[in-house]
Amino acid sequence: MRPTLGRFTDRYRHGKFGPIMMNCLRKTRYLAAALFFSCMPTLLSAQEPAPPPAQAQDTSQKPQGPAPIRVTTNVVVVPVTVKDRSGNLVPDLRRDEFRVFEDNVEQEITRLSVDAVPLSMVILIDNDLRSKDQEQVEPSLVSIVGGLSTRDEAFICRFDQFFHEGDGFTRDQDTLVTELKRTDIASKPSVAPAGGPFNGPTINNAPAPGAPPNPAGLQAIRGQSTKTLDDAVYAAAMLLKDRDSSKRRKVILLISDGQNGPKFNTHSYDETKAELLRQGVIVYCVATGSSYFERKFNRLVNYSRDTGGDIYYGAKQQTFSEFYSRITEEARNQYILYYSPKGERKLDYHSIEVRVRREGLTILARQGYYGGTLVDSSR
């Protein structure tokens, strides 16, 4: 019978060399175990598949996180003046009391602002008035400054057959007072700006003796005014073009007898009105004339009505001074309506009608706008 492993082990354990053999056997086991575990990582790595070689990553196509969401909404801004039957401003209207219609479609008013804002004003003075009107208007001009705040800025200009640009916008009221005091209506000859069609002096809108002949297009025609009122308003609008509409109210204060020579204007009324509406310029007019009830002020009425301004008729110096103050108060304290237009958008021009739910009130707002006047509201 063959000895088993157990008997063989017992024989050497209890024999002469038993302790020595058992000690060697024990060391052999320890050495084998150590060798096995030291080789384990190598064996495992040999069994695992090698990783694929590193490839250059295309950073141009690597996603950079979710793209930002940008929502652009076209917003129409409509300044509105509301008066009671006595001509006083009504300051306590709420948003739900206003209604706005664009192209006969009612719009949802999303916001109403009543914050007073500073003015950017072009003071446009008729330089060719009758002597009686001149005597009333000229001394009143300095009182315009009384209605301006230190945050307002003004640009003083004159016009007759040509547009006479002043010294620029300024907030310095002392400078404005000095410039207005020095404004002598019709005291200077009508001279075209440098580079214009006629650079010589005129007397009663005709070339002075010895002056170069006036081009045929600028010669006075009996019974017709040669004043270029439309061109003057257009030029004033261009001076306001770079003023910030979001922070300031753009205003033209037009002081004139309303006389206009259509044949002498480069820009028509429609062209001028379109430019005013595109830039959001409001025109306020002070009509002059000692016999103003017999005069026709259609041009002044149209400019003020179409742009959301107002018109005042004056005959005395005291009334002119009062009008200037009322105009600046109106321009600075308007309701501002905001809405995002809905409906057909095929045309560039869109009509606007503003109503209020209270009775007996007068609403002054521009009659329409062009697509270029929309404000992009992005968030």
User: Which pLDDT score, from 0 to 100, does residue 205 have?
Assistant: 46
Cα 154 to Cα 270: distance, rounded to the nearest angstrom:
26
Is 356 strand, coil or helix?
strand
Residue 202, amino acid? T
Higher per-residue confidence, 186 vs 164: 164
Higher per-residue confidence, 325 vs 346: 325
- Residues 73 and 340: beta-carbon distance below 8 Å: yes
- Residues 121 and 281: beta-carbon distance below 8 Å: no
Element (H, E) at 83: strand 72-83
| Ramachandran category for residue 143: left, alpha or beta (phi over 0 → left; psi -120 to 50 → alpha) | alpha
- Residues 248 and 118: beta-carbon distance below 8 Å: yes
| Residue among 366, 184, 159, 138 nearest 260 (CA) | 159
Give per-residue pLDDT as tens, 1-59. 455 545 545 554 555 555 555 555 565 555 555 555 555 555 444 454 555 555 545 54
Exposed e or buried b per residue across 54-83, where buried means at least 16 C-beta atoms within 10 angstroms of its C-beta: eeeeeeeeeeeeeeeeeeeeeebbbbbbbe
Alpha carbon separation from 325 to 121, 141, 143, 219 (Å, rounded): 13, 11, 8, 38
375-378/72-83 β-pairing: antiparallel
Which of 204-208, 302-306, 325-329 shows the lowest per-residue confidence on average (mean pLDDT)? 204-208
User: Which pLDDT score, from 0 to 100, does residue 353 have?
Assistant: 97
**Helices (DSSP H) in the chain: which residue ranges?**
5-14, 18-47, 131-140, 173-181, 229-239, 269-279, 298-307, 317-332
- Residues 292 and 329: beta-carbon distance below 8 Å: no
Kindly indicate the confidence band of residue 253, based on its pLDDT and cuts at 50, 70 and 90.
very high
Tell me the pTM.
0.72
| Residue among 250, 253, 234 nearest 242 (CA) | 250
Kindly indicate the confidence band of residue 208, based on its pLDDT and cuts at 50, 70 and 90.
very low
Q: How many CB atoms lie within 10 A of CB 274?
A: 20
Residue 47, amino acid? Q
First and final CA of the chain: distance in angstroms? 98
Higher per-residue confidence, 109 vs 375: 109
Q: Is it the case that residue 313 has pLDDT exceeding 80?
A: yes
Q: What is the mean pLDDT of residues 150-161?
A: 95
The contacts of residue 257 (CB under 8 Å, 6+ apart) are 126, 129, 130, 133, 287, 288, 289, 295
Cα 118 to Cα 355: distance, rounded to the nearest angstrom:
26
Which of 190-194, 231-235, 265-269, 341-345 shows the lowest per-residue confidence on average (mean pLDDT)? 190-194
